[in-house]
Amino acid sequence: MSDRQRLKEIILEKSYRKGNFTLTSGKTSDFYVDVKQTSLSAEGAYLCGKLIFELMLKADEPIMAVGGMTLGADPLVTAVSIVSHLEGKAIPAFIVRKEAKGHGTENYIEGLSNMTPGCRVTLLEDVVTTGGTLIKVIERVESQGFVVAQIITVVERQEGGTQVLADAGYTLESLFTREQLLG
């Protein structure tokens, strides 16, 4: 069984639920994919990290950091960073806060000391519906002078997020679309 197929099995077992749910976007849905249940399991974290790292290696130019909005991206960026180290191509992780830190440095971004000014970064998201969270992350990361070179999600719900990002000039890559996951 391929790593991708195994990850799909884990997502369907641990993260996929049917029912009535209100999503972060405010939309309602008859299914929910809580990727954190997968990305916080040992095997799921490893497979997410490995498959995302493989996509990052295909970027046009080298990626120098990987990050995303807390909380959904936290286990993903950590997994990717660890896998990159194990593969001999260490890429540091960073986390974007929902609100600026209220004390100390008052930063939106944690992990800045591991990043080169102006470096090219990959942004991660666990699940994309409308793309609204990623637009906020892009703004915060670019306002610090970094270049958003790649955006990857574990699951793309196919509910407009890819188009919203495309309209803003970005390409969304995914490990799975809703169709691939549930089809």
Over range 136-160, report the average pLDDT: 97
| Inter-residue contact 94 to 144 (CB < 8 Å) | no
pLDDT over threshold 70, residue 58: yes
Expressed as residue numbers, the domain containing 157 is: 3-182
| Percent above pLDDT 70 for the chain | 97
- The overall average pLDDT reported for the chain is 96
Domain count, the chain: 1
The pLDDT assigned to 113 comes to 96
- pLDDT per position as a tens digit, 74-113: 999 999 999 999 999 999 999 999 987 666 667 899 999 9
Record the tokens describing residue 149, joined without a space.
């070179």
CATH number at residue 38: 3.40.50.2020
Residue 13 to residue 158: CA distance in whole angstroms:
21
pTM confidence score: 0.96
The pLDDT assigned to 103 comes to 63
Query: Band of the pLDDT at 63, cuts 50, 70, 90?
Result: very high
Where does residue 35 rank: exposed (0-12), middle (13-18), buried (19+ CB within 10 A)? buried
